[in-house]
Amino acid sequence: MYFGLSEEQSFFKDNVKKYLEDNASLDQIRKIASNDETSIGKEIHQGFLNLGVNGLLIPEEFGGLGLDLLFAAVVSESLGACVGPVPYIAPYVMAPTAIMAGGSPTQKENYLTKIASNEILVGVGFSEFIGSRNDAGLTFADGVLKGRTMFVMDAQVATHFLLADKLGQMFMLDAKAPGVEIINLTTVDKTRQYAEIICKDVPADLLELSSLSTDPISRSIDAGRIMLAADTLGASQAMIDQAVDYAKERKQFGRAIGSFQAVKHMCAEMVADLEPCYALVWHAAHCHDSSPDEAKLMACHAKAHVSEMGKGIAKKATEVHGGMGFTDLLGLHYWFKRIGVNRQMLGSPELVREEAMQSQL
């Protein structure tokens, strides 16, 4: 049996990639990464929304496209391939997944409709549930939220936040509500944004079903991990392609370095490492919607394995470029750093493997 992308999924993937290649050049990425030009990022994001990605997973009854996670994964793959500097995983995958799984009918109608129509953009912070840091913590009582949480995704552009405590309860709050403080966090990946959120008696809307079970938040985290794996998949393929092209052009001792056996082996090893990752990520996305018993295991497996493969590919692709691989002239470091941050977000390979083990007990 053939298992791969459908014609529609391939078409969607190619459209997103073409849009980013045409509108998010390396020079524009540099400007966004250095904060020299924020308007470029807004323009790219708006064009990205015109492709319909904000309503990708939202059911048609709430104004979305009602597609499955595999469609979302191919979009994430294209974003990784082009180091797309746009919010995606948090507002258009994790937030809708959490609301659909853990929200009341009223909350679904309210939030999903607004996400699909681009009235709101939701930043997501689940680090307290996955593993709190630096004495952070959130407490919820009498309708207000107190405390702080780290590494909230896409917080700087968000109109609302979806945050979680260590029990897995999820809360929606207005980013401009009194008592909300946003502190930018710096990572090596300048193409995406993270922040620390401090809440001082902030009114928050508890997702009603999330207090009964941790399944809704786990489902959202699993979706996010698959998206990160797909992003790393696309970024790794882009690094391989650039390494192969460079090896064909760069000459040493009167010969293209791609003709040297050591370089051939490095390129072949990268391709061999990455090729099985495609089926792994696609299968994990398929299981998320179609095989609940396998969903958690496959999401963890995809995140952990692709993170490890991406790390090795980023290293080898840079080595193929020699000293040029470390310069800003080529910009290879944008993909390198993206793969590195993806590896740690929503759980390192070690943590994710432990979760996979626990899910089978």
3-state secondary structure 69-105: HHHHHHHHHHHHHCCCCCCCHHHHHHHHHHHHHHCCH
Mean pLDDT in each 10-residue stretch from start to end of the chain (361 residues)?
A: 79 92 90 72 88 93 94 96 94 96 93 95 94 80 91 93 93 94 91 92 86 77 97 97 92 84 92 96 95 93 97 95 83 95 95 90 74
- Nearest Cα to Cα of residue 120 among 195, 189, 172: 172
Q: According to the model, what pLDDT value does residue 79 have?
A: 96
Q: According to the model, what pLDDT value does residue 330 have?
A: 85
Question: Rounded to an integer, what distance in angstroms lies between the CA atom of residue 245 and that of residue 272?
Answer: 17
Q: According to the model, what pLDDT value does residue 144 have?
A: 92
Q: Which residue has the tokens 């995983």?
A: 89
> What's the whole-model pTM score?
0.94
- Both tokens of residue 215? 């399944």
Name the DSSP class of 253: T
Which residues on adjacent β-strands are paired with residue 197?
149, 182
**CA separation, residue 70 to residues 171, 288, 356 (Å):** 27, 9, 21
Q: According to the model, what pLDDT value does residue 133 have?
A: 72
Domains contained in the chain, CATH given? 7-116 (1.10.540.10), 122-211 (2.40.110.10), 215-359 (1.20.140.10)
Which residues on adjacent β-strands are paired with residue 160?
122, 174
Question: Rounded to an integer, what distance in angstroms lies between the CA atom of residue 124 and that of residue 154?
Answer: 7
Question: Rounded to an integer, what distance in angstroms lies between the CA atom of residue 334 and that of residue 312?
Answer: 16
Q: According to the model, what pLDDT value does residue 250 have?
A: 87
